[in-house]
Amino acid sequence: MFSIQTITQNTQLQAISHKVMAGQRIDDADCQYLYEAAPVAFLGMLANHVRQQKHGKRTYFNRNFHLEPTNVCIYDCAFCSYSRKIKKRSDGWEFTMDEMLDMVKKYDGQPVTEVHIVGGVLPQYDLKFYMDLFSAIKAHRPELHIKALTPVEYHYIFKKAKVSYEEGMKMLIESGLDSIPGGGAEIFDEEIRARIAGGKVSSEGWLELHRIAHHQGIRSNATMLYGHVESYAHRVDHMRRLRDLQDETGGFQTFIPLKFRNQDNELSHLPEVSVIEDLRNYAIGRIYLDNFDHIKAYWPMIGRHTAQLSLSFGVNDVDGTIDDTTKIYSMAGSEEQNPALSTEQLVDLIESASFQALERDTVYNVVKEYNS
Q: Tell me how far apart the alpha carbons of residues 236 and 284 are, in angstroms, rounded to a whole number.
A: 10
| 354 CB-contact burial (10 Å; exposed 0-12 / middle 13-18 / buried 19+) | exposed
In the bound complex, what is the minimum distance in angstroms from residue 45's beta carbon to ligand V47? 27
**CA neighbor of 290 nearest in space, from 18, 23, 17, 16:** 23
Give yes or no for residue 95 binding ligand SF4 (CB under 6 A). no
Q: Binding ligand V47 by CB under 6 A: which of 203, 265, 308, 312?
A: 265
Q: How far apart are CA 285 and CA 313, in angstroms?
A: 10
Q: Does 62 bind ligand V47 (CB under 6 A)?
A: no
Which one among 20, 77, 192, 318 touches ligand SF4, defined by CB under 6 A?
77
Residues 6 or more apart whose Cβ sits within 8 Å of residue 1: none
80 part of the interface to ligand V47, by CB under 6 A: yes
Among 83, 310, 334, 362, binds ligand SF4 (CB under 6 A): 83
Return the number of the residue (38 or 328) whose C-beta is nearest ligand SF4: 328
Determine, following the binding rule CB under 6 A, whether residue 258 of this chain makes contact with ligand V47.
yes
Among 152, 177, 218, 332, binds ligand SF4 (CB under 6 A): 152
Q: Where are the beta strands (DSSP E) in 174-262?
A: 179-180, 219-226, 252-259
Q: Determine if 79 is a binding residue for ligand V47 (CB under 6 A).
A: yes
Is residue 69 close enough to count as binding ligand V47 by CB under 6 A? Answer: no
Binding to ligand SF4 in span 109-138, by CB under 6 A: 120-121
Binding mask 285-324 for ligand V47 (x = CB under 6 A): -------------x--------------------x-----
Q: Is 120 in the site for ligand V47 (CB under 6 A)?
A: no
Inter-residue contact 309 to 279 (CB < 8 Å): yes
Under the binding rule (CB under 6 A), the answer on residue 301 touching ligand SF4 is: no
- Considering the complex, state which of residue 149 and residue 289 has its C-beta at the smaller distance from ligand SF4: 149
191/369 with CB nearer ligand SF4: 191
Beta strand residue intervals within the chain, DSSP E = 58-62, 64-67, 72-73, 84-85, 114-117, 145-148, 179-180, 219-226, 252-259, 294-295, 317-320, 356-360, 366-369
The number of residues that bind ligand V47 (CB under 6 A) is 21
Residues 1-60 that bind ligand V47 (CB under 6 A): none
The least CB distance from residue 227 to ligand V47, in Å, is: 8
With vertex at residue 77, the alpha carbon angle to CA 75 and CA 82, rounded to the nearest 5 degrees, is 90
DSSP 26: P
**Nearer CB in complex with ligand SF4: 202/216:** 202
CA pair distance 365, 262, nearest whole angstrom: 36
Rounded to the nearest whole angstrom, what is the least distance from the CB of residue 70 to ligand SF4 in the complex? Answer: 9
Q: Are 346 and 318 in contact (CB under 8 A)?
A: yes
Report the distance separating Cα 208 and Cα 359, nearest Å.
Answer: 31
308 vs 297: CA distance, rounded Å: 9
* Rounded Cα–Cα distance for residues 271 and 175 (Å): 43
* Backbone region of residue 369 per phi and psi (left: phi > 0; alpha: psi in -120 to 50; beta: other values): beta
Asked if 158 interacts with ligand V47 (CB under 6 A), we say no
Residue 319, φ and ψ in degrees, nearest 5: 65, -145
The footprint of ligand V47 on residues 205-244 (CB under 6 A) is 221, 223, 225
Binding-site member from 44, 120, 182, 339 for ligand V47 (CB under 6 A): 182
Residues that bind ligand SF4 (CB under 6 A): 73, 75-77, 80, 82-83, 120-121, 152, 198, 200
Residues that bind ligand V47 (CB under 6 A): 79-82, 181-184, 186, 221, 223, 225, 256, 258, 260-261, 265, 298, 319, 328, 332
